[in-house]
Amino acid sequence: MVKIIGVKFKNTPKIYYFSPGKKSDYRDGQIVIVETAKGVEYGTVVGKVTEVPEEKIVPPLRPIVRVATEKDIAKIKENESKIPEAMSFMRNSIAEYSLEMKLIGCEFSFDGKKVTFFFSSEHRVDFRDLVKTLAQHFKIRVELRQVGIRDETKLLGGIAPCGRPCCCSGCMPDFAKVSIKMAKNQGLHLNPTKISGLCGRLMCCLQYENDYYEKICKLVPKVGSTVKSKEGEGVVVSNDMLKMTTKLKIAKEDGCEIYKDFKTSELEFTRKKQAEDSDNASDDLDEIPLSMQETDEEF
């Protein structure tokens, strides 16, 4: 068994695991200095020290260097205080070179030897002259990272249509694959304004209960199909996949029509496999890519 402890960086929801070393009394929310692939950084402790089988560890398991001292915290605050000025200079430089790029954020490494700017753009940007200007101004390594539209929302955060913080910036460690088929399975109206998040892409939460709806879709009749009920044949108007009821439109002998809910289990129907296969074929074309390819450039 190997001892591990979780650490989160900046305000990202993803948790990384490190070796706690000989110390085991870390507190949740405690700031620590850790060794990462990009150098020494600071993070926040999440949870307590736990033991896991060695085969579940993805090597190398890097160690926690130390609990942040007052000097470390002062250094972190100093780096954060540089961000507004850096962002302002970057915006002015972008305007000076007339580059089509939207500045999203900025962060300094813990040791203060590197600054990273995040930006989005519909096209690949030639920022070689811009980097030279930035390097001359900051006198440290400069990294420009182009991110996609979903990554932009993850970095900036915001309040989603549900009234809660965006999943990508609040609780999702990684982006999930989302498709139009998931919205269809849940019986949602395919209105872009209703099923899209702040990023303009399909909402990440569509995949949360997709496994359930995918199974239930095979147990309910298709909307618009004709089924048999104890009160005669009717046309399916809608399905409630949580209550497992189906609303039918039934034509009476006197020419009037009634709408009535029935338990789905009481209906007689057959789902047409050919129609389902046709739906699946079209749904594949509606899949939404995760995000634009990230481009990392260091100078």
**Which tokens is 224 given?**
């618009």
Q: How confident is the model at residue 122 (pLDDT cuts 50, 70, 90)?
A: confident
* Distance from the Cα of residue 100 to its chain's centroid: 25
Would strands 2-8 and 226-229 be described as parallel, antiparallel, or unpaired? unpaired
Torsion of CA 211, 214, 218, 221, to 10 degrees: 130
Residues 162/170, Cβ–Cβ less than 8 Å: no
Q: What is the pLDDT, as a whole number, of residue 23?
A: 82
- Per the CB < 8 A criterion, the answer to whether 12 and 156 are in contact is no
What pLDDT score was predicted for residue 293? 32
Spatial contact of 269 and 259, defined as CB atoms under 8 Å apart: no
Confidence at 36, pLDDT banded by 50, 70, 90: confident
DSSP state of 38: T
**Closest CA relative to residue 104, chosen from 48, 94, 271:** 94
Tens digit of each residue's pLDDT (9 = 90 or more) over 221-268: 988 899 999 988 999 999 999 999 999 999 988 888 899 999 999 999
pLDDT tens-digit series, residues 123-170:
888 899 999 999 999 999 999 999 888 888 888 888 988 889 898 888
Burial class (CB in 10 A: 0-12, 13-18, 19+), 266: exposed
Contacts of 98 (CB under 8 A, 6+ apart): none
Q: Does the structure show a pLDDT above 90 at 74?
A: yes
Q: Which of 154, 162, 155, 149 is nearest to 205 (CA)?
A: 162
Mean pLDDT over 109-118 rounds to 92
Three-state SS sequence of 154-188: HHHCCECCCCCECHHHHCCCCCCCECHHHHHHCCC
Distance, CA of 206 to CA of 231 (rounded, Å): 36
Those residues whose C-beta lies under 8 Å from the C-beta of residue 265, and which sit 6 or more positions away, are 244
| ∠ CA 169-171-173, rounded to 5° | 80
- Residues 250 and 232 sit within 8 Å (Cβ to Cβ): yes
Helix, strand or coil, per DSSP, at residue 295: strand
pTM: 0.73
pLDDT value at residue 272? 55
209-228 in b/e burial notation, b at 16+ Cβ within 10 A? ebeebeebbeebbbeeeebe
